[in-house]
Chain A
Amino acid sequence: MGAFSTSEPGEGLGDAGDRLAMLFVDERVGLIRMATLLVGSHAVAEEVVQDAFIAVGDRWSTVERPGAYLRTSVVHGCAAVLRRREIEDRYSDRWRGERLDEIPSQLVELRDALDHLTERQRIVVVLRYFVDLPDNEIASVLSVRPSTVRSLTRRALSTLRKELS
């Protein structure tokens, strides 16, 4: 891929470009909402999602399930952000300073409780209770066994109960 490409998403891909554009329209909002819950920042979530669309556009001809590929790309992108806590904190602090007063207290509690989860626990919680994915699909996204997903869920719920009690 050449640097500083001037092409738009889907441009030059013909019918595939139309499908990519429709995928963008259909999925972008939901993916940004999911990514925002994962990283705690709308701005970072938008960038992660945009990166995922670029990735799926580059691999369009080889991707069998673009929607699933996108979701997995976004989750992995968010996981990378979460691993770099100092970067994530920088964005979160900026965002929290701007938005803290506007969020209902019970949601602030929930957001803070989510911050106590490990990276994988947080992903499992969001995919299970927000995206409503079954365990086997969550396992596929995380490349783990379904039993591991269930274990992560139990531990995450235990932590959240303690933090929200």
Chain B
Amino acid sequence: MNTIEDRLREQLPQLADALTQEPVHADPKAVSRSVASGIDLGSAERTRRHRSSRVLAAGVAAAAVLLLVGGLLAFSRSDRRNDSDLAAPSAGPPPGFGVWRPIADAPIEARPYAASAWTGTEAVFWAGSSLSRDFAYSDGAAFDPTTNSWRGLTVPGWGHPGLSSVFFDGEPVCTRERRRHTIQPSAGHVGRPARGR
């Protein structure tokens, strides 16, 4: 190896191979088939990798969650309306359950690192940041699967990556910087809990 330039030309591809760990697409034909059939281009790869195409998947994953939640909700309401359904546990999920369907466009931009929670009636999404985390969002929106509609939420000062949320003790809560906050989408905002809670 004569010069640093020779070394770079020889070893940069080797370093790229080492860092990427495995062929990024071992079977390009499989990708082509996925493209042709309209399947998510990165789905096979995502199953093998811990971190993968998060931005693109966010929309698909959100739709899946909403579909699941909406389906369960519809199923639950259907059960309440018709007692005969309760006597037929083998009736199975309602029509449309498990089938992909488009939902209404949200009033907020798609973004990675957003926080989300299911409140019992709505799926709430808020905050998040750009991919490089040099920009944080301070808005949010709630989706009602029964009406296929969104409404915007104000999220004052909540544009912050690293949020997480759960449905806990009958109340949707989220954390930020070691603090607990409640989600109050019915009031049109996400904010801190009342004192003493």
Contact = CB atoms under 8 A, between A and B. Distances in A.
Given A50-B53, A102-B18, A129-B12, A2 B132 contact: no
Given A81-B132, A87-B133, A99-B21, A50 B54 contact: yes
Interface string B34-71: 01001111100000011111111011101100000000
Contacts of A160: 4, 8
Contacts of A87: 132-133
Nearest to B46: A46
A70 B40 CA distance: 20
A24 B35 contact: yes
Interface in A93-115: 95, 99, 102-104, 106-107, 110-111
Interface stretch (A32-40, A59-67, A134-142): A32-40
Which residue among B15, B50, B55 has the maximum number of chain A CB atoms within 10 Å of its CB? B15
Interface residues on A, range: 35 or more
Given A3-B108, A33-B20, A130-B13, A9 B8 contact: no
Interface residues on B, range: 35 or more
A125 to B, nearest CB: 7
B12 A130 contact: yes
Given A8-B40, A33-B16, A80 B132 contact: yes
B103 A32 contact: no
A164 B56 CA distance: 39
Q: Chain A's interface: helix, strand, loop or mixed, by majority?
A: helix
B4 A110 contact: no
Which residue among A1, A50, A77, A111 has the maximum number of chain B CB atoms within 10 Å of its CB? A50
A47 B55 contact: yes
Given A4-B110, A83-B134, A46 B52 contact: yes
Interface string B134-174: 10000001000000000000000000000000000000000
Given A83-B134, A87-B133, A3 B110 contact: yes
28 contacts: A1-B109, A2-B105, A3-B125, A3-B141, A6-B100, A6-B102, A7-B59, A9-B41, A18-B35, A21-B35, A28-B24, A28-B25, A32-B24, A33-B16, A36-B19, A36-B20, A43-B52, A46-B52, A47-B51, A47-B54, A47-B55, A48-B131, A50-B42, A84-B132, A107-B15, A110-B11, A110-B15, A129-B12
Interface of B: 4-5, 7-9, 11-21, 23-25, 28, 31-32, 35, 38-42, 49-56, 58-60, 62-63, 100, 102-112, 125, 131-134, 141
